[in-house]
Amino acid sequence: MAEISNNAELELTEFFQLEPSLRQFEGDFRRRYRLFEERLAQVERTEGDFDQFTKSYQSYGAQRQPNSGMFFREWAPGAKELYLTGDFNNWNKTSHPFTKKDFGKWELYLPPRRDKSPAVAHESKLKLVILTEEGEYLFRISPWAKYVTKMLDSVTYDWIHWDPIQPYLLQHPRPTKPRSLRIYEAHVGIASPKQEIATYKNFTLNVLPRIKDLGYNCIQLMAVMEHAYYASFGYQVTNFFAASSRFGTPEDLKRLVDTAHSLGITVVLDVVHSHASSNTDDGLNRFDGTDSCFFHGGVQGKHSHWGSRLFNYSSWEVFRFLLSNLRWWMEEYRFDGFRFDGVTSMLYHHHGIGMNFGKGYSEYFGMHMDEDALVYLMVSNHFLHTFYPECITIAEDVSGMPGLCRPITKGGLGFDYRLAMAVPDKWIQILKEQKDEEWDLQNIVHTLTNRRRQEGSIAYAESHDQALVGDKSLAFWLMDKEMYTNMSSLIPMTPVIDRGIQLHKMIRLLTQSLGGEGYLNFMGNEFGHPEWLDFPRKGNDESYSYARRQYHLLDMEHLRYNQLYAFDRAMNRTEDKYGWLASAPAVVTTLNQEDKVIVFERSKALFVFNFHPTYSYSDYRVPVGIRGKYTIKLDSDDEQFGGHGRLSHNTDFFTEDMAFKDRPYSFKIYIPCRTALVLANEDIDYCY
């Protein structure tokens, strides 16, 4: 096992050269780093072994012993007494008391049965019974419970002891960490055209092959951590170690991840450590009868906008619980990393509420920072990347925290990527507020390229946020109600469908090629999924009509959804060959507002965009940095992608020794209106 201690010195010179204004906060950086080092040293001093500390799921909760006895350990500092009840003792709530230990811990041992079988059988129900200082008995689920389910007629979830005789054995190794990260953001429950909750098995059988075919090399799985309220999209977690049972069993999820690995696809878990559900009967809230335990007490422990509870990251046992939770998903299910949700809420005492984060660097330093949460994130990234060097960590942060994705020893928090959350907002704003001829290309390019240097960003034109009810997907903003009637390729395209199909492709290619070091797409949006996303709730009569992805539309070959799907597949496969996401940021050489033309080079490939709604340009001169013969590798106007086929792909473009726009060479090309092109130099080896 890798050494977790940190012996490296903090090096800030390079960071300050990139962003000189940060030098005034050198003391803050050094303080954070010192707190981080102290936290690591504290673990080794008090626990002895960081490896075992982050595997506390092996000693807390329910543990079957080699002799089939059962050992239970819980942390409930506010409890007066603690008992175990369940099927094993006919629900006698006080017949099996725990023994109180130091530091709020409780332990219980159950010997095996006479036939040497475990005292608690696989799939039997359990409950903790907590007697509070006020004399009230509370029924609770262990925070370490690995499986919980809910009967149809029940309001709350039950703790189910999961210990199968023949557990699923993971067979395939983790794939190598992709250099160009192309993420397919997915929710298992909506991954079917049927009006029902889909399953892990359905995803494995029917969705994984599509993801592989499309050319995505990473899946971001949402809503896996158990959440009692389905409509929360998985962001109100009740049971942190339990894979959601509404989609199937833990073994089904293991098979899903393992199958993805067999296809060379990495799988990242959407982890929620920024807050927890306020549920008490089946969540962590008031677990031991007090207002605190895992959370801050009083107002500090409640998120005013989300109605959820906020962790106390300074608590030693919370630290153990959350780090072990990350380790559990990496070890038990062999996930390849995490997308950390709500990082902004974690970093600041104000949780980002009412903040615009545009007033200067002082917004990232000072008393409004939650240093306990910040150090927790640093330690998480440090131990994940130490124990799992290929691990991928992504931060959802709207604040633009400098150094978020820099190495910890170079002044950062250690994430690999941050989500470029301004990009989808920009596209929605443009489609809502501007006519095509009013598009400000300068502003669009600025939004796509305005990111912190040497920090990885995940660009996306839309995610699940834009698909939710109350908003619209890009396809719906572009084509609206005509998607219901005019998507057949057997009839001529209407002006609305023509515009929508062409811009849908161009927006996605521009975002992927210019906007970051990784790319994300929300399931179904690759083919212009119609309608919005809305989970069953009282407001829609508990309907599943919009809680699904209509993949069956792709089975009807005459529908233009297939053309958008084909373009997305070609775009990803072209990126896979030329690797622009893994290369240095693009060099934009042409930004002509009047012509509505953007030209840039990245990874020795040439990108040409003509966003003009009506003007096509013959003999349009484009600058390049490398001499040679260029050919078209991707053409959004190709008929197979729903284009008009106005370009010949057999044409070779030879550079002229004519300097143009600060580049040594150039050539002329025909650019149809509303067309995007990727060209490559045939004289270059593109292995990357």
Q: What is the signed CA dihedral for 167, 159, 267, 49, rounded to 10 degrees?
A: -80
Residue 74 is a catalytic residue:
no
Residues in the chain: 688
CA atoms of 39 and 161, how far apart (whole Å): 34
Compute CA distances 487 → 323, 477, 639, whole Å. 49, 15, 15
Query: Which helix (DSSP H) or strand (DSSP E) does residue 269 occupy?
Result: strand 266-271
Q: Name the DSSP letter for residue 542.
A: T
Among 37, 185, 341, 635, which one carries the catalytic annotation? Answer: 341
CA atoms of 32 and 15, how far apart (whole Å): 15
Whether 656 contacts 665, CB under 8 Å: yes
Give the residue among 424, 526, 578 at the shortest CA–CA distance from 211: 526
| Exposure b/e, 458-491, CB count within 10 A at least 16 = b | bbbbbbbebbbeebbbbbbbbbeeebeebbeeee
Whether 552 contacts 491, CB under 8 Å: no
- The tally of CA atoms less than 13 A away on the side-chain side of residue 520 is 26
CA atoms of 439 and 611, how far apart (whole Å): 9
Whether 578 contacts 572, CB under 8 Å: no
CA angle 26, 30, 35 (to 5 degrees): 150
Dihedral (CA of 290, 295, 299, 305) sign: negative
Whether 432 contacts 480, CB under 8 Å: no
CA atoms of 122 and 23, how far apart (whole Å): 58
Among 226, 282, 396, 416, which one carries the catalytic annotation? Answer: 396
CA atoms of 271 and 327, how far apart (whole Å): 12
Q: At what angle do helices 422-433 and 441-449 cross, to 10 degrees?
A: 160
Query: Which helix (DSSP H) or strand (DSSP E) does residue 419 occupy?
Result: strand 417-419
CA atoms of 543 and 455, how far apart (whole Å): 42
Q: Which residue type is seen at 258?
A: D
Q: End-to-end distance of the chain based on CA atoms, in angstroms? A: 31
Residue tagged 């990108």 (tokens) = 607
Residue 341 is a catalytic residue:
yes
CA atoms of 588 and 571, how far apart (whole Å): 20
Positions annotated as catalytic residues are 341, 396
